[in-house]
Amino acid sequence: MGPYTITYFGVRGRCGAIRIMMADQGQEWKEILIDFADWMKGDLKASCVFGQLPKFEDGGLVLYQSNAILRHLGRNHDAYGKDGKEAAHIDMMCDGIEDLRLKYGKMIYQEYDTGKDPYIKDLPNHLDKFEAVMAKNKTGFLVGDKPSFADYNLFDVLLNHLVLCSSCLDTFPSLKSFVEKMSARPKIKAFLDSDAYKKLPINGNGKQ
Ligand code: GTB
């Protein structure tokens, strides 16, 4: 397995969690950053299964869809639970994170000016679900006793939300502690401190 290749735009976006997971798992990967003007020429888009990026390569295996890529990394790096029951819960949490990511993306890309404040006001009604799961599990992770791909996904989404609203975790102690502990994992810390990470905006339209 690996080294992996990511083809994506020069943003964190749909590759934030994937990159953080690869970094924490000690994997190296190659980045092919696509300029949006080049993308608009259409050749690369036409070659992508769903006409979108990211594209992910693991040797001869070519994957699209960010959550499928996370699941693949979960299988490759023993980050998909210890049994079928844990895997099912990890899938469930990943789908819940996707729901939040889609709401966030809609606000960022379609209604930032009018939607940001209502979004922040409603945010506790989404974060409380993750807080409850995290508090109940007691290990510092969503499922089981080590990070799964759902944890990397949640961590990335929470980092984005902390940029949107720096106080958003103040009433969620388990999520706050989760972000602190994930941020302090040495390989994640090194990655988050790197120019490769810091130079990339969160989203493609400059809103955050
Ligand atoms: N369900 C898919 C997944 O999870 O991988 C969704 C992928 C997706 O939305 N890809 C977007 C894309 O390929 C990029 S993420 N858009 C181009 C197209 O559809 O033709 C959002 C995004 C938008 C714009 C930029 N940008 O301008 O740099 C970057 C990222």
CATH of the domain at 19: 3.40.30.10
Q: Examine the domain organization and report whether 88 and 181 are in the same domain.
A: yes
Q: Specify the residue with its C-alpha closest to ligand 1, atom 18.
A: 52
Residue 109 near ligand 1, beta carbon < 6 Å: no
- Residue at 21 is within a domain: yes
- Residue at 36 is within a domain: yes
Q: Specify the residue with its C-alpha closest to ligand 1, atom 27.
A: 204
Q: Examine the domain organization and report whether 36 and 127 are in the same domain.
A: no
Phi, then psi, of 116 in degrees rounded to 5: -60, -50
pLDDT at 3: 86
Coil vs helix vs strand at 32: strand
Strands 29-34 and 4-9: parallel
Q: What is the pTM of this model?
A: 0.98
Number of domains in the chain: 2
| Segment 4-18 mean pLDDT | 98
Contact 133, 93 (CB under 8 A): yes
Q: Name the CA radius of gyration of the chain, rounded.
A: 17
Residue 28 is classified by DSSP as: -
Q: Examine the domain organization and report whether 44 and 102 are in the same domain.
A: no
Q: Specify the residue with its C-alpha closest to ligand 1, atom 23.
A: 204
Q: Examine the domain organization and report whether 89 and 165 are in the same domain.
A: yes
Q: Examine the domain organization and report whether 134 and 172 are in the same domain.
A: yes
Contact 118, 171 (CB under 8 A): no
pLDDT at 1: 57
- Say if residue 82's pLDDT is above 90: yes
Q: Examine the domain organization and report whether 48 and 120 are in the same domain.
A: no
Instruction: From residue 152, give the alpha-carbon distance in Å to each of 42, 43, 185.
Output: 32, 32, 12
Taking the C-alpha atoms of residue 115 and residue 112, their distance in angstroms, rounded to an integer, is 5
